[in-house]
Amino acid sequence: MPKIDYSSYIKGSAARYNKIKGNLLLSADGIWFVPDDGGTELYLPIEKIMDAHIEGVLLKKISVITNGSNDRYLFSVAEKDEWKSAISLAAGIFRRVTTGTSSRPVPPSNGHAKLQPNSQAVSVPPPTPTSATQPTPKPQPQKKKKRPSSPKPAQSPTPPTAPAPPNAAPIQSATQAPTQTTPVAAPAQMAPGRSSTIAAYTGPWPSGQDYEQSFQTLKLSMHPSLGKVDQWEAVKNPKTPGWYVYASGNYGSIYKVKGDDNKFFALKCFTRKSENLNTRYFQISDYLLKHSKGLDFLAHFQYFEQGIRTRKSQSFYFPVLRMEWIDGVTLNKYIQDNISNLKILKKVSVNLMNELDRMQNLGIGHGDLAGDNIIVTNSGGVKLVDYDGMYIPNFKGEKSAEMGHADFQHPGRSVDTFSNKLDNFSALVIHLSLSAISENPNLWEKYNGGDPDCLILRKKDFLNLDISPVYKELTAMKNKKIKKLCGILEDYLAHGPLWDGVNPSMLASL
Ligand SMILES: Nc1ncnc2c1ncn2[C@@H]1O[C@H](COP(=O)(O)OP(=O)(O)O)[C@@H](O)[C@H]1O
Ligand SMILES: [Mg+2]
């Protein structure tokens, strides 16, 4: 029988479901509704959640759609704004879980029963009273909201620790680091002078949970070639108590580590196979090093083919990217936080266009410009992360390994869309969106609605501008710059994805 896993508790709020008052809880395992009257709880397992979003701005409705049956659950929450970021974060995670494109960070289970994989939303009896061995509820982050009626905390908070999987042996000490033993098939194309085993690796990639366990024993998990790993310290994410992961996208998860020099850096651990990962990253790293002058816009990084092992793969090290830690927020969060500071949004957009222009002039295309790959730093500068789909001149004539976020890409983009002009369409989408939001901030709430994967325009708008409600509003705006940008968007869509009728410097000067 499933019970709420309070150790993975993320967000709670007073809410109503089917006119019944209670508490809505978002945990890493799913969404729970706990009625105030002690009646049966509703549980929507995370694996079954297809989508979750805020629906009615005025009525403060959260809509949760489950897959399989396409059932839709509507909850009314008291604190819509507080839920908004949590639900959108969760929605992104849910989508990735259900499409299998990334792994959700799953905190260690506390032994509560799991539902059958095919179960739909289920009703379960109220949690049993707290015993000494039960996990302690996290402090409630919401203000003036009720806690769920039970269970009550019995102990001081205990950070969850990941029990080793039943058959897993403990990770051996780093000095005993074994050599890579995974079967090697025909090696993929390699950068000169570098050997590869990951290129030939055909097994499953570690999940977020596998990496989470590795970070608990970081010193034993990292390959000694990365440096003084025995002096490294993994830093837990203060926003998701008990977890090490800071963010996760389609290809990997990001962790924060304090190095032997007491400085912080980021480690990206890959959760999916990406074609020619080694070749690409070694070459990108070499190219960026050579052209590092004037490229502060990109994070400094180093790719390690043999980086981290997991409990399930003790004899095999998976690659990692060691990067400069960027203190800041994603573009989407920055817009949300500064929605009433119109000047700042305009400035960020112009900054971004100028930096993209510099990058393009060095022959580089990022390939996946999107809200979550653009970080606005604490000093108001912009930095790009996620170089998995990057183009550099060495890649001329090759195919791109990634297609980028669809809501920022020309609908005609294909694997052959690969040059330093790769970002022109996304730059236009971003500049048009930010310019429009600066003129009319309501557009953000109305057309983004907490979606972390787009700004205000989506692929469906590009495919059908004629019937796009957001585009209709944009074209009706009086601002000349916006009118011009709309005209450029129409022209661009009539051309191919690498059209050079527009570029970031031209956009910045509008
Ligand atoms: N160097 C870094 N410092 C701080 N946060 C980062 C850094 N690199 C990435 N992130 C955060 O982690 C998220 C996921 O990383 P990313 O490289 O984009 O993974 P994916 O390829 O899976 O999309 C990013 O959207 C960003 O918010
Ligand atoms: Mg990304």
Per-residue pLDDT tens digits for 107-165: 323 322 222 222 334 433 322 222 222 222 332 333 333 333 332 222 222 233 333 33
* CA angle, residues 291, 351, 382, in degrees to nearest 5: 70
**Sign of the CA dihedral with 217 first, then 222, 228, and 233 last:** negative
Q: pLDDT band at 476, cuts 50/70/90?
A: very high
Residue 106 confidence (pLDDT) above 80 = no
Residue 176 confidence (pLDDT) above 50 = no
Predicted confidence at residue 33, as pLDDT, reads 86
Predicted confidence at residue 125, as pLDDT, reads 32
The ligand that comes nearest to the alpha carbon of residue 385 is 1
Q: What is the number of the ligand 1 atom nearest to the C-alpha of 326?
A: 3
Q: pLDDT band at 14, cuts 50/70/90?
A: confident
- pLDDT tens digits for range 405-452: 999 999 999 999 999 999 999 999 999 999 999 999 999 999 998 888
Q: Strands 252-258 and 233-235, how do they pair?
A: antiparallel
More confident residue, 196 or 383: 383
The phi and psi torsions of 15 (rounded to 5 degrees) equal -155, 170
| CB of residue 323 inside a 6 A radius of ligand 1 | yes
| CB of residue 251 inside a 6 A radius of ligand 1 | yes
Residue position matching structure tokens 């509008």: 510
Residue 480 confidence (pLDDT) above 90 = yes
- Residue spans in the chain of domains classed CATH 2.30.29.30: 6-124
Q: pLDDT band at 90, cuts 50/70/90?
A: low
- Residue spans in the chain of domains classed CATH 3.30.200.20: 197-324
The ligand that comes nearest to the alpha carbon of residue 254 is 1
Q: What is the number of the ligand 1 atom nearest to the C-alpha of 254?
A: 12
SS3 19: coil
- pLDDT tens digits for range 213-245: 899 999 999 999 999 999 999 999 888 777 898
- pLDDT tens digits for range 244-283: 989 887 788 999 999 999 999 999 999 888 888 888 999 9
Architecture per CATH, domain 6-124, reads as Roll (2.30)
| Helix (H) / strand (E) containing 319 | strand 313-324
Burial 259-291 (b: 16+ CB within 10 A, else e): beeeeebbbbbbbbebebbbbbbbbbbebbeee
CA of 225 to the centre of ligand 2 (A): 26
The ligand that comes nearest to the alpha carbon of residue 321 is 1
| Helix (H) / strand (E) containing 243 | none
Question: Which regions of 348-475 does DSSP assign to beta strands (E)?
Answer: 374-377, 382-384
Mean pLDDT across 176-198: 39
Burial class (CB in 10 A: 0-12, 13-18, 19+), 110: middle
- Residue spans in the chain of domains classed CATH 1.10.510.10: 328-509
Q: pLDDT band at 52, cuts 50/70/90?
A: confident
More confident residue, 300 or 469: 469
Predicted confidence at residue 118, as pLDDT, reads 28
CA of 372 to the centre of ligand 2 (A): 6
| CB of residue 331 inside a 6 A radius of ligand 1 | no
CA of 254 to the centre of ligand 1 (A): 6
CA of 93 to the centre of ligand 2 (A): 13
Report the candidate in 107, 220, 105 with the shortest Cα–Cα distance to residue 162: 107
Mean pLDDT across 24-35: 79
Q: Which of 258, 267, 386, 388 to mutate to test the pocket of ligand 1 (most atoms within 8 A of CB)?
A: 386
What is the value of pTM for the model shown?
0.68
C-alpha of 388 from chain center: 14
Mean pLDDT across 39-45: 84
Residue 180 confidence (pLDDT) above 50 = no
Q: Which of 298, 373, 387, 453 to mutate to test the pocket of ligand 1 (most atoms within 8 A of CB)?
A: 373
Which CATH number is associated with domain 328-509? 1.10.510.10
Enter the tokens of residue 288: 């960026």
Query: Which range scores top for mean pLDDT: 33-37, 62-66, 194-198?
Result: 33-37
Tell me the H-state helices in 243-366.
277-290, 331-337, 342-361
Taking the C-alpha atoms of residue 384 and residue 326, their distance in angstroms, rounded to an integer, is: 10
| Helix (H) / strand (E) containing 257 | strand 252-258
CA of 385 to the centre of ligand 1 (A): 6
Range scoring the smallest mean pLDDT among 184-198, 383-397, 429-443: 184-198
| Fold that domain 197-324 belongs to in CATH | Phosphorylase Kinase; domain 1 (3.30.200)
Enter the tokens of residue 60: 């403060």
Q: Which of 102, 239, 288, 385 to mutate to test the pocket of ligand 1 (most atoms within 8 A of CB)?
A: 385
Q: pLDDT band at 284, cuts 50/70/90?
A: very high
| CB of residue 247 inside a 6 A radius of ligand 1 | yes
Predicted confidence at residue 191, as pLDDT, reads 36
* CA angle, residues 82, 76, 88, in degrees to nearest 5: 45
Predicted confidence at residue 128, as pLDDT, reads 28
Provide the edge-to-edge strand list for the sheet that holds 20-27.
Answer: 49-54, 61-66, 72-77, 9-17, 20-27, 30-35, 41-45, 122-124
Enter the tokens of residue 80: 């819509």
> Ligand 1: which residue has its CA nearest to atom 13?
247
